[in-house]
Structure 1
């Protein structure tokens, strides 16, 4: 199925959660000089103009990134949120929030001379947009590969990588229920080839609860050190349709990342809404 286009949902609260975690993980890894390969298995576009027809149709960004943008001066004292909002501001027109960057930019803008970035995108239209956009500094274009293909298959085939460190973002649309267990099988293969990899997996929290099968399967997969973060904009018991929450898994969680994210998310929650909540825990410990 190739119907999903993220432009309709760009900048929503789940994007904020996903990209805040991705940014934080990358920043933690970049504290060391040794090279990193970044891989994004479901890249989408590099950036999304908020005035585009698709984005304007649902305007999900208004309850997501726009709320944070309006409160950015009050949030500058929070280290992680302040840095994230400063990075976001580099793409805007002064005080105006005009676009929201996708994961290719959040990763690509961090790439250094010694690093590598591979972006997979299967949807032909989305890949075309990605190919036309700049997501790394001009001097780092040679460090970037854009691949029109299946990211889960591509990830396994790309391993092991040449660099000593690896960071992966897996972010499917989950339009098909089979995708949940496909992610688990991919992770099992990938972690056998690259046990040291830091892997982030995003998943939606929906009333149908299909993510639970994925979490249960991962719990029995033999993969260790899986940390879970879930942001809900309303209590699950109140949700009747649509996405009520956003989930992130981090395998091989960098030291201190959980505390940094917890502090940042707790500052975000009052901006997100009075009924919002966050819970984090180890899905699988060492």
Structure 2
């Protein structure tokens, strides 16, 4: 149950897609004076060293954040904004540290905004505590199941929030739990912004997840997926990932229309590289 450690995958292509979108969602929310909450149901450690043996084992960041970091061309605004947040952790110009979603939120949130972070892994929650030591009452950490924890904190007092749901999906039940968590969240807090990350793997549940989310009774959503390579024979391994955003900013689709082709160009590993971009706006 507790085998997954994101440090092995920090900064990979899936992180690039997820975090580029998270930065856009946070930026949109900070444009209004009203405070909001950032809620992460599976926060992980929050901050990662790319020099650590975990990250170095497969060096997945070299085919993820690496090509963007090293690019000398002007990138689409969405990707530039994401790189600016990574720059904050690497002021000397060397890519040594990588921010997880909670750390991106911490960098971008204002004094009146709040972080609510859930993490059930016994080692990860301790690292998360260490990384946020001294952060004060703006950040609340919960050694708890984020799927269940959402029920206790929604709706948030300011009635504005971004909820990120991104389990490891090692347990196939996480797919169904993700859909239920979004359904329950919408019943408690229909106007919230919900961002669901999912892996592209050769598993029926992974293929069905975005289709199930499309059927939820909501007014608007954006679905973006980045495939970096063809699935390997035998069905093992991650060949891409997707993000499904409910109640997205009206600007998000246009941002992705510019960013996704560039991500295919920079991160694509073979002829199977492609992207998907769909939306609903009632």
Please, what TM-score do these two structures have when normalized by structure 2? Answer: 0.93
Aligned to 2:277: 280
Rounded Cα–Cα distance in structure 2 between residues aligned with 1:226 and 1:126? 31
Contact 2:41 2:117 in 1 (8 A): yes
- Displacement of 1:191 in angstroms is 0.3
Aligned to 2:181: 186
Aligned to 1:163: 158
User: Structure 1 residues 59 and 146 mapped into 2: Cα distance closer, same or farther (>3 Å)?
Assistant: same
Contact 2:114 2:139 in 1 (8 A): yes
Rounded Cα–Cα distance in structure 2 between residues aligned with 1:35 and 1:2? 34
- Structural mapping, 1:54-73, within 5 Å: 54-71=54-71, 73=72
Indicate the larger mover: 255-264 or 193-202: 255-264
Question: CA offsets per residue over residues 32-54 of structure 1, 9 Å max, x none?
Answer: 11111110110011211111111
Question: CA offsets per residue over residues 86-118 of structure 1, 9 Å max, x none?
Answer: 221111151211011111111111111121110
Please, what TM-score do these two structures have when normalized by structure 1? Answer: 0.92
1:21 aligns with 2:18: no
Rounded Cα–Cα distance in structure 1 between residues aligned with 2:212 and 2:253? 23
What secondary structure sits across from 1:210 in the alignment?
A: helix
Question: CA offsets per residue over residues 50-101 of structure 1, 9 Å max, x none?
Answer: 1111111111111101111111x3135x322122212211111512110111
- Displacement of 1:134 in angstroms is 3.4
1:225 aligns with 2:220: yes
Q: Provide the aligned length of Structure 1 versus Structure 2.
A: 280
Rounded Cα–Cα distance in structure 2 between residues aligned with 1:132 and 1:75? 36
1:266 aligns with 2:261: yes
- Displacement of 1:213 in angstroms is 2.7
Contact 1:181 1:213 in 2 (8 A): no
- Structural mapping, 1:39-58, within 5 Å: 39-58=39-58
| Unaligned residue ranges in structure 2 (runs of 5+) | none
Indicate the larger mover: 89-98 or 165-174: 89-98
Aligned to 2:146: 151
| Unaligned residue ranges in structure 1 (runs of 5+) | none
- CA-based RMSD of the aligned residues comes to 1.9
Aligned to 2:74: 75
